[in-house]
Structure 1
Amino acid sequence: MDGATLAGLRAVEVSAFVAAPLGGMTLAQLGAEVIRIDGLNGGLDYRRWPVTDSGASLFWAGLNKGKRSVVIDIDRPEGRELAEELITAPGKDAGILLTNFPARGWLDFERLRIRRSDLIQLTIQGDRNGGSAVDYTVNPRLGLPWLTGPQDYQAPVNHVLPAWDLITGQMAAVGLLAAERRRHREGVGQHVKLALEDVALAVMGHLGFLAEVQGGRSRGRYGNDLFGAFGRDFICADGERVMVVGLTLKQWRSLCAATDIGDGIRGLETRLGVSLDLEGERFRAREEIAALLTPWMAERRLEQVREVFESHGVCWSRYQSVEQLLREDPSCSLANPMFSFVEQIGVGQVLSPAIPLRFDETRLPAKPAPALGADTEAVLLDVLGLSSVEFGRLYDKGLLRCA
């Protein structure tokens, strides 16, 4: 299994919040040694909500699984010197830094490269000029909050998922691996910069939002409807709500067969003079299609809908709360091999996911996040070669913290 992982790779992470910690955790979940450096009181995100009743951050625990935690007083010159040594420590598979803090001072690439000429550093920025930006300020600029929400709603609607942070985190891991591959091939390091703003703008281009406006078209709000094909939410006889999708031709035909609306669809095609085998025509006729499906849904309870849909291979889903997901959905349980229970320090037993990737149907196991400073002594002794006496001197000076 080691041949399919990043075992042997060592990266240092200096970060906070979502994108950079997610990038580092992705590497850690793939087997790399990821050393997170924090100040004496933890990082900016050490108490980030959601938290337990005792104040332990479930956010921090969730985004630092499998890492090693080193705590150094980086407000003092001697502490920053120690952190620089750790970042640039020797080893052909080391010398990799991931951060979303400004690349200046002790995190300045040119300064660090004096210590190690083949250093790889990936710096996540807010905007492309290095200014401050987060997911919740980038997204409003893109226009998406004016496309989200009910059709007749007049104010912007933000969503709770930090999409650009998540994509940026995954791209950071890819960027580091790409730079490491170049170093392996050519022996050179480099400073890679990745702006949250640019990630969001790139996705807007990839998905056609920009070209759509360039072509003179302006997209409106469509509520829960799937744009460009047929997809809509319906209420069942027992009040349960489901989402039904007919995006591909196979999905569309499965839906028609399951609900026995074939005759109605053919009559609709004749009346409109179109073929509803075309996904765009299904979108234009979404109200008429929904009128055919609504009575069928309203006459059946969720379990009846489930039985029919699953027997016909319909693409659909039940709307459920996070509580229902955890309590009732087997995909979010030990029935899914991605999950296992881990003992998270300060939290207790937590249902925890491993990385979703499967290598020959084998998964790397889920691991808990470390306690703050749990690895300070081991890392400084192993990576920097400090003696116990040297470590004790630094600890007594208040430069280090151990769990």
Structure 2
Amino acid sequence: MSGPLASLKVLDFSTLLPGPFASLMLADMGAEVLRIESPTRPDLLRVLPPHDRGTSASHAYLNRNKRSLALDLKQAEALEIVRTLVADYDIVLEQFRPGVMERLGLGYEALKAINPRLIYMSITGYGQTGPYKDRAGHDINYLALAGVASYTGRQDSGPLPLGVQVADVGGGSLHAVVGLLAAVIARQQSGVGQYLDVSMTDCSFSLNAMAGAGYLACGVEPEWESQVLNGGSFYDYYRTRDGRWMSVGSLEPAFMQALCAALGRPELAAHSLKPEQQRVLKQALQVEFEKRRFDELCELFAGLDACVEPVLTLSEAVAHPQLKARALVSQVPRGDGSSQAQIACPLKFSEGLPAPRHIGVAVGAHSDEVLAELGFSVQRIAELRRSKVVG
């Protein structure tokens, strides 16, 4: 089983989360992904705890199914190796600040001259243009500038530092994969590749799908706990008697009626969405939830279609029958005969996907193999290692 993207070959110069998550998706779907890594400046993700047998669990997951070629891009011979590879690759994915690849002689125009079919993507915080293009940033900054944080939080405590990197993954990675595959389809018609400029701030701004639409069309500026879906209604989380939490999303009348009946307060279902009535409703629901333990509420709502679900820990989520039925945990070979549990590819294809091949590997684990495929002799590879062109 080769996967739907088995025909694609990707050179991946990215590090940390956005680019690697994008190339992970491509690799899981069968693409051949070759990471180009520095032998002297390792990806910081490699040292991020926790570690499993000395390897960062995050790195092992985000870089599974990928090969690694360690090259010192400050040396001319290393750049020549990249140019040789480009002739046979479909996609270049890079995540440096604007201008870095151009200064190395590996920008889009230079590589397009070698391979006109090349699809070249740059993922950055702010894009290749604009006054912030050279500015440093992280996920929290992109969400702040995109307006997302201005209405995602609580009135008494402000914006929430989200546990999931929404700008990096939801903004950068997922938009990147969509753009790359669209460019592949376009190339099938035109025969030529193109350059894609992905800004995590731009993509985060596009995630303001409902609040942003309301502001631009109607001038309604969203604030914390002011809308139906951001804490301004009963649609929220509720603390249980023993300090756990339940999620309540019973928006439709039938679900609201089921919720209130289960709590023994059917009259609460008559409340409208007017702000003053919603405040009263939320207070009443909180009182009812705090009367019961978490396990009691789980049992109470287990058989009801009321859009009420428990807030699970990761260990509980892994063991949940729905996630288990969907096979969302996969055992991935470490390379020594053992395996590591990882989050599986969530996409379900009727033809299936190839089994995971290996976790993320050491820097340059495939350097000799890749160079041999390019026709380098054992002696020449040894020379390149001695001169530290290759790691």
2:381 is aligned with 1:394? no
Report the secondary structure of 2:302's partner residue. Answer: helix
Distance in structure 2 (CA, Å) of the matches to 1:264 and 1:335:
35
The answer for the alignment partner of 1:293 in structure 2 is 285
Query: Is the Cα contact below 8 Å between 1:18 and 1:165 reproduced in 2?
Result: yes
Query: Is the Cα contact below 8 Å between 1:66 and 1:369 reproduced in 2?
Result: yes
The answer for the alignment partner of 1:181 in structure 2 is 185
The answer for the alignment partner of 2:134 in structure 1 is 131
Deviation at residue 46 of structure 1 after TM alignment:
4.4
2:205 is aligned with 1:201? yes
Aligned length: 378
Distance in structure 2 (CA, Å) of the matches to 1:361 and 1:7:
13
The answer for the alignment partner of 1:163 in structure 2 is 166
Gaps of 5+ in 1: 269-275
Distance in structure 1 (CA, Å) of the matches to 2:52 and 2:23:
27
1:139 aligned partner, one-letter code: L
2:347 aligned partner, one-letter code: L
Query: Is the Cα contact below 8 Å between 2:22 and 2:176 reproduced in 1?
Result: yes
Q: What do residues 162-182 of structure 1 show as CA deviations (whole Å, max 9, x unaligned)? A: 211102111111211111222
Indicate the RMSD between aligned Cα atoms, in angstroms.
Answer: 3.0
The answer for the alignment partner of 1:217 in structure 2 is 220
Alignment CA distance shift 1:320-1:114 (3 Å): same
Query: Is the Cα contact below 8 Å between 1:50 and 1:57 reproduced in 2?
Result: yes
2:62 is aligned with 1:66? no
2:107 aligned partner, one-letter code: D
Report the secondary structure of 1:285's partner residue. Answer: helix
Alignment CA distance shift 1:163-1:312 (3 Å): same
Distance in structure 2 (CA, Å) of the matches to 1:150 and 1:246:
21
The answer for the alignment partner of 2:153 in structure 1 is 149
The answer for the alignment partner of 1:50 in structure 2 is 49
Match 2:93 to one of 98, 114, 117: 98
Distance in structure 2 (CA, Å) of the matches to 1:298 and 1:36:
51
2:362 is aligned with 1:380? no
The answer for the alignment partner of 1:340 in structure 2 is 330
Deviation at residue 299 of structure 1 after TM alignment:
3.3
Alignment CA distance shift 1:50-1:282 (3 Å): farther
Query: Is the Cα contact below 8 Å between 1:232 and 1:244 reproduced in 2?
Result: yes
The answer for the alignment partner of 2:347 in structure 1 is 357
Distance in structure 1 (CA, Å) of the matches to 2:339 and 2:29:
22
Q: Which moved more, 1:41-50 or 1:372-381?
A: 41-50
Identity %: 26
Query: Is the Cα contact below 8 Å between 1:338 and 1:363 reproduced in 2?
Result: no
1:170 aligned partner, one-letter code: L
Distance in structure 2 (CA, Å) of the matches to 1:113 and 1:31:
24
Query: Is the Cα contact below 8 Å between 1:243 and 1:318 reproduced in 2?
Result: yes
The answer for the alignment partner of 2:16 in structure 1 is 17
1:251 aligned partner, one-letter code: F
1:76 aligned partner, one-letter code: Q
Deviation at residue 82 of structure 1 after TM alignment:
0.9
The answer for the alignment partner of 1:252 in structure 2 is 256
Deviation at residue 331 of structure 1 after TM alignment:
5.6
Alignment CA distance shift 1:190-1:235 (3 Å): closer
Distance in structure 2 (CA, Å) of the matches to 1:361 and 1:235:
43
Deviation at residue 372 of structure 1 after TM alignment:
1.9
Alignment CA distance shift 1:282-1:355 (3 Å): farther
Query: Is the Cα contact below 8 Å between 1:99 and 1:123 reproduced in 2?
Result: yes
Deviation at residue 395 of structure 1 after TM alignment:
2.7
Deviation at residue 30 of structure 1 after TM alignment:
0.5
TM-score of the two chains, using structure 2 as the length reference:
0.85
Query: Is the Cα contact below 8 Å between 1:29 and 1:355 reproduced in 2?
Result: yes
Deviation at residue 40 of structure 1 after TM alignment:
0.9
Report the secondary structure of 1:7's partner residue. Answer: coil
Distance in structure 2 (CA, Å) of the matches to 1:238 and 1:23:
40
Report the secondary structure of 1:342's partner residue. Answer: strand
The answer for the alignment partner of 2:359 in structure 1 is 368
Query: Is the Cα contact below 8 Å between 1:34 and 1:68 reproduced in 2?
Result: yes
Deviation at residue 250 of structure 1 after TM alignment:
4.3
Distance in structure 1 (CA, Å) of the matches to 2:55 and 2:275:
47
Distance in structure 2 (CA, Å) of the matches to 1:297 and 1:185:
58
Deviation at residue 200 of structure 1 after TM alignment:
1.7
Report the secondary structure of 2:19's partner residue. Answer: helix
Alignment CA distance shift 1:252-1:185 (3 Å): same
Deviation at residue 24 of structure 1 after TM alignment:
0.9
Q: What do residues 224-255 of structure 1 show as CA deviations (whole Å, max 9, x unaligned)? A: 98436531322333333212111334433332
Deviation at residue 387 of structure 1 after TM alignment:
3.3
Distance in structure 1 (CA, Å) of the matches to 2:233 and 2:353:
36
Query: Is the Cα contact below 8 Å between 2:301 and 2:309 reproduced in 1?
Result: no
Alignment CA distance shift 1:177-1:293 (3 Å): same
The answer for the alignment partner of 1:38 in structure 2 is 37
Gaps of 5+ in 2: none
